[in-house]
Structure 1
Amino acid sequence: MATLTISSKNYSSWSLRGWLMCKMAGLVFEEERVPVDDPDAKAELLLLSPSFLVPRLVHEGVTVWDTLAIGSYLNEVFPEAGLLPPDRAVRAHCLSISGEMHSGFANMRSALPMNIKARYPGFKVWAGAQADIERIVAIWRGCLTAHGGPFLMGPHPTLADAMYAPVCSRFTTYDVPLDAACAGYRDRVMALEPMQEWIAGALAEPEELEELDVEF
């Protein structure tokens, strides 16, 4: 049995990404939760410790951390799941936008921390974060146009959709205005069965990290 170590389902965007990739790959796994009062977990959730090893996948004696590494590993073990597109050009596009999400958008991350339970209608986004949002929207539009939708790389969810799923959640939480195409994409991702399962888990979590809202 594989094991995936994750943090808070309500707050941890990186845990969500790795978890979605495992679900998309069809991997049967057990969840191991890092207690939210663990100092390292708190640091990860507050964006103070990007090297914290969550999510972490253990499968057949192999330990993999870092979300993109987990996605690459799962694609090798379960190529039929299509986490990475078979077409070389589409695969390159998928990896490029996934890498951009992996390393960028710091202003958006700080200004719109993931909080699945919360709703902030009419939330005012400051200018630095707005630039990140505009870049993300441009990526989504470009992908939907180039690959025909309904997901970023075409008809099926891929690694790229797992990478941008927490952004869909953030845009929902903070009421970020979107055009019809991007709003439709956001809604499709939020409606995915694995995403709904994750959201249900987040809603069931106790209110243990209330201070996060004021620390960002």
Structure 2
Amino acid sequence: VLVQDGVAVWDSLAIAETLADAFPQAGIWPRALAQRAQARGLCADIHSGFTALRQHCPMNVGARLPAVGARVWQEQADLREDVHHLLERCASLLQNSSGPMLFGAFGMADAYLAPVWLRLQTYALPCAMPASVHDYVQRVLALPALQEWCADAAAENDFVPFLEPYRSGPTLPV
């Protein structure tokens, strides 16, 4: 939740737009209209789509679940479709990028993708990632702010057992 001028802003896209309006010099969205539209469209897709990735690979930066990843990758065609679609889209955007991130400098689209890349890392999904996308993902994962966020998440001790059965003990199937 972002509180801006006494108003609570709840949705991540609404927060992104509020921040872009409040801090136009921050470069949250690309300056060029066409790129800005592409970045917003990508964020909207990530925000409301990729349901198979969300369903089969829940977010958990502290876990390493390659066996689960291998199983769901093999069993879930919708997951493979989600990931392949996103990798192709990112490869296309990177071909036209003027910098190390999707639209040149780091922006909201890169921030929106960070949880996706963390999911691919957590589950070690055996996807064929284009070299340009692999290099981009490594740049995102190496960002100091993301590293700090992951360290803070790994230090958390609270968990919800039905969402994280692998933390409840070895008797549960993985």
Q: Which among 130, 137, 143 is matched to residue 186 of structure 1?
A: 137
Q: Is the 1:121–1:175 Cα contact (8 Å) retained in structure 2?
A: yes
Q: Which among 79, 97, 115 is matched to residue 147 of structure 1?
A: 97
Aligned twin of 1:175: 124
Aligned twin of 1:211: 162
Distance 1:158 1:190 in 2: 14
Which structure has the highest strand share of the two? 1
Percent of matched pairs sharing the same residue: 38
> SS in structure 1 opposite 2:2?
strand
Q: What amino acid sits opposite 1:171 in the alignment? A: L
Q: Which among 34, 38, 46 is matched to residue 101 of structure 1?
A: 46
Indicate yes or no: 2:87 matched with 1:137: yes
Aligned CA RMSD, in angstroms, stands at: 1.6
CA deviation profile, 1:11-57 (whole Å, cap 9, x unmatched): xxxxxxxxxxxxxxxxxxxxxxxxxxxxxxxxxxxxxxxxxxxxx11
Per-residue deviation, 1:207: 4.5
Aligned twin of 2:172: none
Query: Gaps (5+ residues) in structure 2?
Result: 167-174
Q: Which among 37, 40, 61 is matched to residue 6 of structure 2?
A: 61
Per-residue deviation, 1:214: 4.3
Aligned length: 159
Indicate yes or no: 2:114 matched with 1:165: yes
Indicate yes or no: 2:140 matched with 1:195: no
Which structure has the highest helix share of the two? 2
Aligned twin of 2:26: 81
Q: Is the 1:143–1:149 Cα contact (8 Å) retained in structure 2?
A: no
Aligned twin of 1:90: 35
Structure 1 residue ranges (4+ consecutive) displaced by more than 6 angstroms after TM superposition: none
- Normalising by structure 2, we get a TM-score of 0.85
- Normalising by structure 1, we get a TM-score of 0.69
Distance 2:98 2:84 in 1: 21
> SS in structure 2 opposite 1:201?
helix
Query: Gaps (5+ residues) in structure 1?
Result: 1-55
Aligned twin of 1:33: none
Distance 1:210 1:84 in 2: 38
Distance 1:110 1:198 in 2: 22
CA deviation profile, 1:162-211 (whole Å, cap 9, x unmatched): 11110010011111232322121111111111111111110110042243
Are residues 61 and 96 of structure 1, via their aligned partners in 2, closer, same or farther at CA, if it must alter by over 3 Å?
Answer: same
Distance 1:213 1:62 in 2: 34
Distance 2:62 2:23 in 1: 33
> SS in structure 2 opposite 1:128?
helix
Moved more, 72-81 or 181-190: 181-190
Q: What amino acid sits opposite 1:102 in the alignment? A: H
Aligned twin of 2:55: 110
